[in-house]
């Protein structure tokens, strides 16, 4: 069997180097962006740097998963590293913002394959018991870049220049590729495989139309009710209907429709979509509340997120151990009670909220959501045939990315409207132009104490409002958990062991 030829330690090391660097790149770049914008005179395109990267990752995630199923995980994973390095070179040498955006797009395509394919390769390399433990650490490990990114970005920009924020990816990417090449051996049949080009193009155009809506809202100030946004969403709906028609007839469909007859794939796609849609907006904007209402520094408000990880890491590890011994539906049901408690507590935040209150709340949230880190990808892999594991994982992660992207935009708009409404009564007492900037720039200095109190109250009301909405989403996710199959993963391993001929 081909697994015996793999050097497991080398494979895991190569995957981790590639993954951590792709994640690190995101936070390092955001820290370096003010310097890049200043040097390339690109303020008008600022928001697009993140937007283009996110679009590329999301659009190509399922396609790269399918290509890995067709042509081999190793070949496609190494191609993704090559794309990431190529995009980094374009970004690092970019003479203008346009070139920077092109480079970010190429990087995004490569990054779109790294996470799903890393999980698939681990699935091919390790037996279930070991895999459960390894994958339970993957989610938490991806937080390291979030914590290190700002420091690393600041150091590179301060000590060398911003070009090296991107160029540093070249040696690291080459090391990751070399380690994977040496450690991983994969036998593939040489038969000719057809690619569903019509399905792939329709999928990319459909996702582009869907995701351009939140990107335009965030960068161009459109509202969700504007004709342009409604038009884009309508085009996306038509393209997805066309995609279903194409996939029914395709010989090798880019997203096999039989995946959506698989109960676990459908249920987990719904859970991650609803959860990300409902919680990302509130969690991602929380540092804004911490700085403006609680009076914390940007660094301290960022470190509040550590409380979330303090809950998520042990929860993820414990779930990784238990998932091969206890029915995973039961694990999810128990864990998903906790986010309901967490968001109820967050919906009570106010002007007098203490740091301890937030730390406890985020810890509870982390304990609950840690179940996803430890289990969702593993359940998906064990619920489908081995030859479909790439596209199955890519599809579930696509739903997760869509939920997070749309959720960030929708909740951002809601928050902004609520804050604007809250300070409408005092807008005439604020310095000219301040009222519009408060929703993004925070409380200006030098205001009278009573005005500051009113603004803080408006912020607290706005955050209470969005966290109250989040409660309904986490309740929905909890209910959907009951539709998972009530089985223990070891049963699937036994079945699969008999039929592994791939």
CATH of the domain at 145: 1.20.1250.20
Looking at the structure, tell me whether residues 442 and 353 fall in a common domain.
yes
Tell me the pLDDT of the chain (502 aa) as tens digits. Answer: 344 567 788 888 888 888 877 777 777 777 777 777 778 776 667 667 777 888 888 888 888 888 888 788 888 889 999 999 999 999 888 888 888 889 999 998 998 888 788 888 887 777 777 777 777 777 667 666 666 666 677 777 777 778 888 888 888 889 888 988 887 877 665 556 677 888 888 988 998 888 888 878 777 778 788 898 899 999 999 999 999 999 888 888 888 888 888 888 899 999 999 988 888 777 877 877 888 888 877 777 767 777 888 888 888 888 878 888 888 889 889 999 999 999 999 999 888 888 899 999 999 998 998 887 767 778 888 888 877 778 888 888 888 888 888 888 788 888 888 887 877 777 777 766 666 666 666 676 777 777 778 888 888 898 999 999 999 999 999 999 999 888 887 644 444 444 433 3
DSSP class of 444: P
User: Which residues does 147 contact at the CB level (< 8 Å), separation at least 6?
Assistant: 306
Looking at the structure, tell me whether residues 2 and 150 fall in a common domain.
yes
447, 423 Cβ separation under 8 angstroms: no
Looking at the structure, tell me whether residues 289 and 391 fall in a common domain.
yes
Residue 251 lies in a domain: no
pLDDT of residue 188: 62
467, 343 Cβ separation under 8 angstroms: yes
Residue 234 lies in a domain: no
Residue 341 lies in a domain: yes
Looking at the structure, tell me whether residues 267 and 128 fall in a common domain.
no
Residue 227 lies in a domain: no
Residue 168 lies in a domain: yes
pLDDT of residue 390: 80
Residues in the chain: 502
Compute the distance between CA of residue 207 and CA of residue 203 in angstroms, rounded to an integer. Answer: 6
Last residue of a domain, one of 158, 185, 212: 185
Last residue of a domain, one of 185, 220, 243: 185
Looking at the structure, tell me whether residues 139 and 11 fall in a common domain.
yes
Looking at the structure, tell me whether residues 133 and 271 fall in a common domain.
no
Nearest by Cα to 271 from 36, 473, 33: 473
Compute the distance between CA of residue 499 and CA of residue 63 in angstroms, rounded to an integer. Answer: 26
Looking at the structure, tell me whether residues 160 and 296 fall in a common domain.
no
Nearest by Cα to 407 from 302, 288, 282, 289: 282
Residue 97 lies in a domain: yes
Last residue of a domain, one of 121, 151, 185: 185
Domain that holds residue 385: 259-502
Compute the distance between CA of residue 107 and CA of residue 293 in angstroms, rounded to an integer. Answer: 37
pLDDT of residue 449: 77
Looking at the structure, tell me whether residues 164 and 284 fall in a common domain.
no
Residue 222 lies in a domain: no
Compute the distance between CA of residue 319 and CA of residue 331 in angstroms, rounded to an integer. Answer: 7
Compute the distance between CA of residue 175 and CA of residue 198 in angstroms, rounded to an integer. Answer: 36
Q: In degrees rounded to 5, what are phi and psi of residue 347? A: -70, -10
Compute the distance between CA of residue 126 and CA of residue 128 in angstroms, rounded to an integer. Answer: 6
Looking at the structure, tell me whether residues 180 and 273 fall in a common domain.
no
Residue 212 lies in a domain: no
CB atoms within 10 A of CB 431: 10
Looking at the structure, tell me whether residues 180 and 294 fall in a common domain.
no
User: Which residues does 182 contact at the CB level (< 8 Å), separation at least 6?
Assistant: 7, 10
Compute the distance between CA of residue 413 and CA of residue 89 in angstroms, rounded to an integer. Answer: 35
Looking at the structure, tell me whether residues 425 and 322 fall in a common domain.
yes
Give the dihedral sign, CA 51/52/53/58. Answer: positive
Compute the distance between CA of residue 1 and CA of residue 143 in angstroms, rounded to an integer. Answer: 35
104, 56 Cβ separation under 8 angstroms: yes
Query: Distance between the two ends of the chain, CA-based, in angstroms?
Result: 9
Per-residue buried b or exposed e for 175-197, using 16+ beta carbons within 10 Å of the residue's own CB: ebbebbeebbeeeeeeeeeebbe
Tokens of 94: 């970019």
For the chain, what is the domain count?
Answer: 2
3-state helix, strand, coil in the chain (%, to 5): 80, 0, 20
Looking at the structure, tell me whether residues 299 and 434 fall in a common domain.
yes
């Amino acid at each position: 069997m081909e697994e015996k030829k793999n050097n497991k330690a080398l494979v895991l090391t190569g995957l981790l180097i590639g993954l951590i660097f792709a994640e690190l790149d995101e936070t390092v770049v955001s820290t370096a962006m003010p310097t890049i914008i200043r040097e390339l005179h690109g303020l008008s395109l600022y928001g697009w740097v993140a937007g283009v990267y996110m679009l590329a990752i999301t659009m190509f995630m399922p396609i790269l998963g399918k290509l890995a199923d067709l042509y081999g995980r190793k070949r496609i994973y190494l191609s993704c590293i090559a794309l990431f390095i190529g995009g980094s070179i374009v970004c690092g040498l970019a003479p203008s913002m346009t070139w920077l955006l092109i480079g970010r797009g190429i990087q995004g395509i490569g990054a779109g394959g790294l996470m799903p394919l890393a999980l698939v390769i681990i699935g091919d390399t390790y037996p279930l018991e070991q895999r459960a433990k390894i994958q339970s650490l993957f989610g938490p490990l991806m937080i390291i870049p979030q914590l290190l990114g700002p420091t690393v970005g600041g150091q590179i920009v301060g000590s060398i220049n911003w070009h090296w924020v991107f160029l540093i990816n070249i040696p690291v990417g080459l090391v990751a590729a070399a380690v994977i090449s040496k450690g991983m051996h994969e036998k593939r049949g040489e038969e000719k495989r057809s690619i569903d080009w019509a399905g792939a193009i329709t999928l990319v155009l459909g996702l582009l139309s869907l995701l351009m809506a939140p990107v335009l809202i965030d960068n161009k100030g459109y509202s969700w009710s504007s004709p342009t946004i409604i038009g884009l969403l309508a085009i996306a709906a038509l393209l997805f209907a066309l995609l279903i028609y194409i996939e029914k007839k395709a010989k090798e469909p880019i997203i096999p429709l039989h995946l959506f007859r698989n109960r676990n794939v459908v249920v987990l796609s719904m859970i991650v979509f609803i959860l990300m849609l409902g919680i990302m907006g509130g969690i991602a904007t929380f540092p804004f509340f911490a700085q403006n209402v609680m009076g914390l520094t940007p660094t301290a408000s960022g470190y509040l997120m550590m409380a979330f990880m303090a809950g998520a890491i042990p929860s993820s590890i414990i779930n990784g151990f238990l998932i091969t011994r206890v029915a995973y539906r039961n694990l999810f049901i128990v864990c998903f009670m906790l986010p309901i408690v967490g968001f109820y507590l967050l919906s009570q935040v106010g002007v007098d909220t203490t740091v301890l209150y937030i730390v406890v709340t985020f810890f509870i949230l982390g304990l609950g959501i840690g179940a996803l880190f430890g289990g969702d990808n593993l359940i998906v892999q064990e619920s489908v045939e081995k030859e479909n594991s790439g596209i199955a994982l890519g599809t579930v992660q696509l739903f997760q990315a869509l939920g997070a992207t749309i959720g960030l935009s929708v909740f951002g708009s809601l928050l902004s409207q609520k804050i604007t409404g809250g300070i409408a009564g005092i807008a005439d007492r604020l310095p000219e132009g301040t009222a519009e900037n408060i929703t993004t720039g925070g409380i200006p200095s030098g205001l009278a104490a009573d005005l500051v109190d009113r603004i803080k109250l408006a912020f607290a009301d706005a955050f209470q409002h969005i966290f109250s909405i989040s409660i309904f989403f986490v309740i929905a996710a909890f209910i959907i958990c009951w539709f998972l199959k009530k089985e223990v993963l070891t049963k699937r391993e036994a079945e699969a062991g008999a039929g592994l001929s791939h």
